[in-house]
Amino acid sequence: MKRSVPLQPGSPAFYSAALVAAALLYFLILVIPAGLTVGRALASTIANIAPIVIGGLAVRASIRSWVARRRVAVQFGAHIAMAVLFTLFWFWLLMVLLGAINGDSAVLFSVEPFMGLAAAWQLMQGLTIYAVLALLFHYELLRETMTPREPATGETPPQFVRDGDELRPLDPERIVHIAAAGDYAEMHTPSGSHLLRTTLAELETSLGNGFLRIHRSRIVNTNRVARMEPAGGGRMTLHMDNGDSLTTSRAGAKAVRDRVL
């Protein structure tokens, strides 16, 4: 029996299907309402899709490596800037490719950008495409956080944490730090925070040596510490790679220093 391929964000099958669907939609619009020949419609379709692929790869890399690790306010500003850059890049490259298609040759052509309503429509398309891509890439990160990674041979299998009556997969590599919240525990990851119905003490017993109790209400992933500095009074401030800054207790600072080689 053949196994079906899941069409979920992050999987090659999903993005391949989305790309084919977008290309088909562009092609049909260019052939039927615009009345272009099949050959010209195919070339124009490629001109529309190519900037999306190139810009989309750059946006995905930026979100995964930098944007998702920052505070919400920083992410908001970054997305505004990236949306403008993506839209301008998409419009510019589209105009260049259309100029090449309509020119005398691939190296001898003139670029005549759309003006007025046509330009506004193209720019609106760019902003809309960016918004869809950004949502998909953030959802992809969120799904990775809540889905256990397949362990390689010899690796420890994924752990699970009790969340009320349910069991949820726990991927220690994605955890930046965990805070106590009464009878709950707030787990912070690069893509956001998640409230679990379990205590900090229960989580501490299931985490490995890479985690350290720096305060009675805080556990950190030492692999996620970007840098640390004295905070006065025998305490320390840990700067995490997602942008959060955490202050230890005196006992927590001593535990941190004990880890220093």
Q: Burial-class residue 55 by CB neighbours within 10 Å (0-12, 13-18, 19+).
A: buried
Q: How many CB atoms lie within 10 A of CB 214?
A: 25
Lowest mean pLDDT among 29-43, 142-156, 247-261: 142-156
**How many helical (H) and strand (E) elements, i.e. helices and strands, does the chain have?**
6, 10
Name the pLDDT band for 155 (thresholds 50, 70, 90). Answer: very low
pLDDT reported for residue 165: 61
Instruction: Read off the pLDDT of each residue in 2-15 and give the average, rounded to a whole number.
Output: 67
pLDDT reported for residue 69: 77
Compute the distance between CA of residue 69 and CA of residue 63 in angstroms, rounded to an integer.
8
Name the pLDDT band for 206 (thresholds 50, 70, 90). Answer: confident
pLDDT at 158 over 70: no
pLDDT tens, position by position, 210-256: 889 998 899 999 989 999 999 888 999 999 988 899 999 999 999 88
pLDDT reported for residue 185: 85
Whole-prediction pTM? 0.56
Instruction: Read off the pLDDT of each residue in 13-20 and give the average, rounded to a whole number.
Output: 88
pLDDT at 11 over 80: no
**In the block, which residue shows the tokens 């005398």?**
104
Q: Burial-class residue 133 by CB neighbours within 10 Å (0-12, 13-18, 19+).
A: buried
Percent of the chain with pLDDT over 90: 39
Higher pLDDT, 181 or 28: 28
pLDDT tens, position by position, 55-111: 999 999 999 888 987 888 999 999 999 999 999 999 999 999 988 888 877 677 888
Instruction: Read off the pLDDT of each residue in 111-127 and give the average, rounded to a whole number.
Output: 92
pLDDT reported for residue 157: 47
Rounded to 5°, angle at Cα 87 from 144 and 93? 110
Instruction: Read off the pLDDT of each residue in 26-48 and give the average, rounded to a whole number.
Output: 88
pLDDT at 6 over 60: no
Instruction: Read off the pLDDT of each residue in 159-171 and give the average, rounded to a whole number.
Output: 60
pLDDT reported for residue 194: 77
pLDDT reported for residue 105: 74
Q: What is the mean pLDDT of the chain?
A: 83
Instruction: Read off the pLDDT of each residue in 38-49 and give the average, rounded to a whole number.
Output: 91
Lowest mean pLDDT among 21-30, 86-95, 144-153, 234-243: 144-153
Higher pLDDT, 195 or 98: 98
DSSP letter for 160, please. E
